[in-house]
């Protein structure tokens, strides 16, 4: 029962890698997911400018409910082309 987290851009450095797999028993809210992360990373993904995509679709932080097989991506401000 695994949930994949993706960390884009500079969040990759905070997370220590571009992705992370959590073993989850049931769908989790963003707050519950953050509890499973290192405190620095939990703060970084909660920053107001970080957008969130669930399985490729942008969602509001309060709407997140992600469980087995889901992919949750954290998108910090872009620093484009």
Report if residue 53 touches other proteins, rule: CB under 8 A.
yes
HEC assignment per residue over 1-64: CEEEEEECCCHHHHHCCCEEEEECCCCECHHHHHHCCCHHHHHHHCCCCCEEEECCEEECHHHC
Among 8, 20, 34, 42, interactor with other proteins by CB under 8 A: 8
Work out which of 21, 25, 60, 78 binds other proteins, going by CB under 8 A.
78
Instruction: Please tell me whether residue 27 binds other proteins under the rule CB under 8 A.
Output: no
- Minimum Å gap between C-beta 78 and other proteins is 6
The smaller minimum CB distance to other proteins, of residues 32 and 51, is found at 51
* 9 sits near other proteins (criterion: CB under 8 A): yes
Q: Which letter, b or e, does each residue of 23-33 get, where b requires 16 or more Cβ atoms within 10 Å of its Cβ?
A: ebeeebebeeb
């Amino acid at each position: 029962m695994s949930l994949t987290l993706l960390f884009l851009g500079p969040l990759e450095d905070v997370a220590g890698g571009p992705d992370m797999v959590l073993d989850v028993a049931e769908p989790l809210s963003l707050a519950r997911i953050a509890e499973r992360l290192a405190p620095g990373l939990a703060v970084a993904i909660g920053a107001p400018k970080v957008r969130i995509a669930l399985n490729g679709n942008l969602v509001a932080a309060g709407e997140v409910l992600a469980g087995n097989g889901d992919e949750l991506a954290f998108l910090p401000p872009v620093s484009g082309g």
